[in-house]
Amino acid sequence: MIPGAFAYHRPSSIEEAVRLLSKLGEDARVIAGGHSLIPMMKLRLASPTNLIDLGNIANLKGIREDGAEIVIGATTTQHEMIRSDLLARKIPILRETSLLIADPQVRYVGTLGGNIANGDPGNDMPAVMICLGATYEAKGKNERRMAAREFYQGAYFTALEPGEIVTAIRIPVPSAGHGYAYEKLKRKVGDYATAAAAVVLTISGGRVTSCSIGLTNVAETPLWAEEAAKIVTGSTLDAATVKKAVASAEAVTSPASDGRGPAQYRTKMAGVMLARALARARERAGA
Amino acid sequence: MAKSQVSMTVNGKKVEQLVEPRTLLIHFLREQLMLTGQHIGCDTSHCGACTVDLDGKSVKSCTIFAVQANGAEIRTIEGMANSDGTLHALQEGFREMHGLQCGFCTPGMIMRAYRLLQENPSPSEEEIRFGISGNLCRCTGYQNIVKAIQFAAAKLKGVPYQEAAE
């Protein structure tokens, strides 16, 4: 399969990339790892006439601490996230999630920015970023920040405006000793989730003191299961409370029926993934 | 569309060519450089038959444009044998352990296993299976591929290969 013809641009700064994007207009796309875009181009579902490669912009890469936040450059790959000691120490759910994305070859190339900005409901990082309360930095005519929880508007529709490029992802570091888990049901290595759940919580004296829950691929957008998280907060995660939280999370899903199963099944699996994620997050939480 | 000049190092040799921007790296390798060792299997970044080593990463060359690899250092199966013509430990392992039947996936498997062993010279069986999870083989059931990689890991470390008890 051969994509349609395009002109290729390889800017060396984000300013130059933004300038090119605004000059070339709607038929231009930015490309980072390309593992979402190139398959679409091969199937001619996308036919940009200009490709702006972000691969040569050094300061779009890297993972650093900035006060109480971790800042990850948009073209940082999943492989780099897996190998980051800083992330392993501070936000280990990102390593756990990265390891469940696609396969080793794809993770060497696939980027966090591409994963969160594409708006594909099957991508794993958006629900994790919603769970963590991350903020996305974008640059167009101006620079601005958008909350992950307000970024996703529909399948492949996001708050990103034409001419804007996501440059970094800022994540508030969860408190030390927090419990976390990303539970993903998939048919095989490399598959998108049938359903998946991200949980970050803190426990003190046996009771949940804070909790946040994100759900993947059970609606047109990633979901923040705010009500379910409220239900478990204050509880000891006893069976009755978990059951109530699971029912609440299931109620906010609206998955499609597709090759991964009928909608009703995927809703139930979202609940199962949530129950498992809550249990594993609890095991990992420091008391 | 105007062609772009690309230069890269492939199997230790510097190459400079003109390519259309839409040329995929696998097509560039196979059709312009006539390096037909890496195969096109699924053409949808699932099967791993087109895997090459690119700047220290295993990459599916059906899902990257040749222009993106401008300046890169690339290794394919043609660059694996030792300079005296003897086989690389991985090639030897696949032969000794019957790590292939039809052989279609083998070049991709070997290039992936090469990077895996660079990063982790003593992988467990589980780590090998996880490490090659982006490469599909429809013949072997993977058992002998895992053994071939274990054989190579032992040989590269200079220790005798011992088959795990069944």
Does any domain span residue B113? Answer: yes
Looking at the structure, tell me whether residues B75 and B108 fall in a common domain: no
Looking at the structure, tell me whether residues B37 and B62 fall in a common domain: yes
Q: Between the CA of residue A252 and those of A54, A132, A216, what are the distances in Å?
A: 36, 19, 12
Interface A–B counts its CB contacts (< 8 A) at 83
Domain residues for the domain of B61 are 4-79
Looking at the structure, tell me whether residues B95 and B148 fall in a common domain: yes
Residue that is written with structure tokens 């130059």 in the block: A16
For residues B156 and B59, what is the distance between their CA atoms, to the nearest angstrom? 23
Does any domain span residue B115? Answer: yes
Of B20, B70, B112, the CB nearest to A5: B20
Among B8, B18, B46, B135, the residue to mutate for chain A (most A Cβ within 10 A): B46
Residue A7 pLDDT = 97
- The string of pLDDT tens digits covering residues A103-119 is 999 999 999 999 999 99
Looking at the structure, tell me whether residues B75 and B98 fall in a common domain: no
Does any domain span residue B55? Answer: yes
Q: Between the CA of residue A181 and those of A9, A40, A139, A230, B123, what are the distances in Å?
A: 40, 31, 32, 18, 25
**Nearest chain B residue (CA) to A108:** B57
> CB contact, 8 Å: A58 with chain B?
no
Q: Give A29 to chain B, closest Cα distance, Å.
A: 14
Of A5, A79, A108, the CB nearest to B1: A5
The mean pLDDT of A2-31, rounded to a whole number, is: 96
Query: Residue B53 is part of a domain; what is its CATH number?
Result: 3.10.20.30
Task: Enter the ipTM.
Answer: 0.95
Coil, helix or strand at residue A269? helix
Q: How many domains does chain B have?
A: 2
Looking at the structure, tell me whether residues B45 and B9 fall in a common domain: yes
Looking at the structure, tell me whether residues B74 and B9 fall in a common domain: yes
| Domain boundary pick from B35, B60, B79 | B79
Q: Between the CA of residue B75 and those of B29, B34, B35, B107, B130, what are the distances in Å?
A: 10, 14, 11, 11, 22
Q: Give B45 to chain A, closest Cα distance, Å.
A: 8
| Domain boundary pick from B47, B79, B111 | B79
Q: Between the CA of residue B131 and those of A99, A208, B103, B112, B118, what are the distances in Å?
A: 11, 37, 19, 8, 12
Q: What is the DSSP letter of B65?
A: B
> CB contact, 8 Å: A161 with chain B?
no
Q: Which residues pair with B6 in a beta bridge?
A: B17
Q: Give B12 to chain A, closest Cα distance, Å.
A: 22
Residue A286 pLDDT = 85
Looking at the structure, tell me whether residues B75 and B26 fall in a common domain: yes
> CB contact, 8 Å: A10 with chain B?
yes
Which residues on B lie below 8 Å from A32 (Cβ)?
none
| Domain boundary pick from B79, B98, B129 | B79
Decide if A250 contacts A272 (C-beta within 8 A): no
Looking at the structure, tell me whether residues B111 and B140 fall in a common domain: yes
State the number of CA atoms in the 13 A half-sphere of B119 facing the CB. Answer: 17
Decide if A215 contacts A274 (C-beta within 8 A): yes
- The string of pLDDT tens digits covering residues B38-95 is 999 999 999 999 999 999 999 999 999 999 999 999 999 999 999 999 999 999 999 9
Does any domain span residue B46? Answer: yes
- Residue ranges and CATH numbers for the domains of chain A are 7-53 (3.30.43.10), 58-172 (3.30.465.10), 179-284 (3.30.390.50)
Residue that is written with structure tokens 């040989």 in the block: B155
| Cβ atoms within 10 Å of A258's Cβ, excluding its own | 12
- The string of pLDDT tens digits covering residues A190-231 is 999 999 999 999 999 999 999 999 999 999 999 999 999 999
Query: Residue B141 is part of a domain; what is its CATH number?
Result: 1.10.150.120
Does any domain span residue B163? Answer: no
Looking at the structure, tell me whether residues B39 and B103 fall in a common domain: no
- What's the pTM? 0.96
**Taking CB atoms and an 8 Å limit, are B48 and A105 in contact across chains?**
yes
H/E stretch holding A89? helix A85-90
Does any domain span residue B39? Answer: yes
For residues B121 and A41, what is the distance between their CA atoms, to the nearest angstrom? 37
Which residues on A lie below 8 Å from B105 (Cβ)?
none
